[in-house]
A and B are shown apart, each in its own frame.
Chain A
């Protein structure tokens, strides 16, 4: 399973990727949406784990751009933000099942990844 992690916090994504690597999951990471799009055009991924709040564009916009390149790609969102609108928007776009509030537990992330893989990825 090929995972792409996108978050503007480099320390967070790099660590998450490394920890997933320890568990046998091949995870790459990017800190900007543009990098992520570039990586997606070079290589195909199964699941993208996106931060909702990023400087250049938010996670939902990035999702649309990535879907345009790779329609089969599945998504999980992470957020550190609890504002009402954001929460509701996130839930309505992804379903609460694919929406993780930071800090993310590694086990629950893996559980979600497996869930997305086996349930076909769409809520």
Chain B
């Protein structure tokens, strides 16, 4: 009746495949761990990644800006050299026309002399011609004999008349050498004008080649139509057509990124050379310029990877630690909650038992007295002595009353034993009280109970209710482990220490060694499918500890299990 215990889980499945911890009533620790890990990791790593990306972009932009500035500066310098070259030739021609009259220049011999002088002083002058306002070449010095030719409809002629000067696109001369021509309009004091025009061997590639030599760069001239005016490393030889998209205005140096046909990115700087159709293009390989940045980025990503790994490891360890702590605390909370619940239940049962006993006791007392009275009447009144059966019947009634009253007394004593104050107890008495409840079951299962508890044993200190629970739990477990015809041995000895050692052995199926270390853990059960909660033995363990004792278990498969309980004796308390 009052002996419902949950702790029959220890020995059911000796192989233990059904061994598992109850999970349903606990928090989902895996989920808690995952959430805390992911959230903490996200908040820890986000700023790191943010700053890494920021640094990546800022460094790249600043390096790109730097590279563009360098390309731009180079373009400006080259532009100055080219302008200077052209201006020098223009100034030479200007000098010639200023200090020679139209008539002097019209003299072919004189013109040949000037050509010779120019060629020697500046180099590259191939021919020279004087064209009057109508476009007719009045004089010519040079290899081609172009005197008398009319240039009236030529574009360069129109340009020279309107702008005062013009530099032609590159063209191949008769010797298949690239040339450019420079034309200059000269105003006479009488407002008449003529034009001097000179063809110069193309010397600009020489200037540009000095630029090209640095790194993977390229520098060349193209005209507005995209035709190469000097050879290009990437776009081909002179006069080849390119498909470079030119920026709209190039009075100042403009830079932009262009992609070559082979996929290479180049930083391009453009500058228009004034009074010519030439556009200077300076190319710098982005890859080469950015390579130090790439190297530093590789290092940065490495460090980033290492720091993220370290952060993740740390968070993994810390969250793991806390979730494990949480798990332990949660389990302990459950354990104490169940223990409190269990004690409450036992106290309620105790009160119930006492109440029942009291209620039964009163009518029992009346039966007792009335039967006693009948007996007295038979004894004291002679006329009733004749029927001997009357007394026999009364004796049976009295014997039954005695039996009932023994049970109610035990119930009353059970009720009393829910008290919390530790008192000296005789081990044998407590054991007997517990066995009263178990004798019936032992008889049904034909279990032989062998008790060897000497009367000379010192009294133990404890709470009788708790001690009863301990014995009930363990003996119930033992019964569950034994099928039929088992043997339960209970023996107690005095030890050298102020403890009594109690051995409770069964001849049951035993506990596998891998489970033996876990049987006192809360929620460890091999019988979860049979309604075991895994609390019985852990409660027993807790109770033994509360009494100041300790409990151990030894087991052999198919031979049985022995629980050894050490309980403090009265001498312990005196010493303590």
Contacts and interface: CB of A to CB of B under 8 A. Distances in A.
B354 interface: yes
Contacts of B377: 22
Most buried by B among A11, A12, A80: A80
Contact of B370 (A15, A102, A104, A105): A15
A102 B364 contact: yes
B1 interface: no
B366 interface: yes
Contact of B413 (A11, A82, A103): A82
B366 A80 contact: no
B354 to A, nearest CB: 5
B409 interface: yes
Interface string A64-89: 00000000000000001111100100
Interface string B353-365: 0100110011011
Contact of A12 (B354, B358, B369): B369
Nearest to B401: A103
A18 B361 contact: no
16 contacts: A12-B362, A15-B373, A16-B369, A19-B376, A22-B376, A22-B377, A80-B358, A80-B361, A81-B354, A81-B358, A82-B357, A82-B415, A84-B418, A101-B409, A103-B361, A104-B368
A61 interface: no
Contacts of A23: 376
Contact of B358 (A11, A22, A82): A82
Contacts of A15: 366, 369-370, 372-373
Contact of B365 (A80, A82, A84, A87): A80
Most buried by A among B372, B373, B377, B401: B372
A106 interface: yes
A101 B365 CA distance: 10
B5 interface: no
A9 interface: yes
Interface string A91-107: 00000000001111110
> Which range contains the number of A residues in contact with the other chain?
20 to 34
Contacts of A9: 362, 365-366
A89 B368 CA distance: 26
B416 A103 contact: no
A83 B351 CA distance: 7
B412 interface: yes
Given A23-B376, A82-B408, 20 more contacts: A11-B370, A12-B369, A15-B372, A15-B373, A18-B373, A19-B372, A22-B377, A80-B362, A81-B358, A81-B361, A82-B358, A82-B413, A83-B354, A83-B358, A83-B415, A87-B412, A87-B416, A103-B361, A103-B369, A105-B368
B426 interface: no
A19 B416 contact: no
B405 interface: yes
Nearest to A11: B366
Nearest to A106: B372
Nearest to A81: B358
Interface in B338-364: 351, 354, 357-358, 361-362, 364
B419 interface: yes
B373 A84 contact: no
Contacts of A83: 351, 354, 358, 415-416
Given A15-B370, A22-B376, A106-B372, A82 B412 contact: yes
B380 interface: yes
A19 B357 contact: no
Contacts, number: 78
Contacts of A16: 369
Most buried by B among A11, A15, A23, A53: A15
Contacts of A81: 354, 358, 361
A5 to B, nearest CB: 11
B470 interface: no
Nearest to A101: B409
A104 B365 contact: yes
A59 B413 CA distance: 22
A68 B412 CA distance: 33
A100 to B, nearest CB: 10
A12 B365 CA distance: 7
B411 interface: yes
Nearest to B415: A82
B335 to A, nearest CB: 27
Q: Which 10 A-B pairs have the closest CB atoms?
A: A82-B412, A80-B361, A103-B368, A15-B369, A103-B365, A102-B365, A81-B358, A22-B376, A84-B416, A82-B354
A15 B369 CA distance: 6
A102 B372 CA distance: 14
A23 B380 CA distance: 9
Interface string B206-225: 00000000000000000000
Contacts of B361: 80-81, 101-103
B449 to A, nearest CB: 27
Contacts of B401: 103
Interface in B79-136: none
A12 B373 contact: no
B344 to A, nearest CB: 16
Interface string A17-29: 0110011000000
Nearest to B414: A82
Contact of A102 (B354, B362, B380, B415): B362
B369 A82 contact: no
B174 to A, nearest CB: 136
Contacts of B376: 18-19, 22-23, 106
A12 to B, nearest CB: 5
Interface in B414-458: 415-416, 418-419
Contacts of A104: 365, 368
Given A19-B372, A101-B409, A12 B366 contact: yes
B569 to A, nearest CB: 24
B416 A22 contact: no
A79 B369 CA distance: 15
A101 B362 CA distance: 10
B412 to A, nearest CB: 3
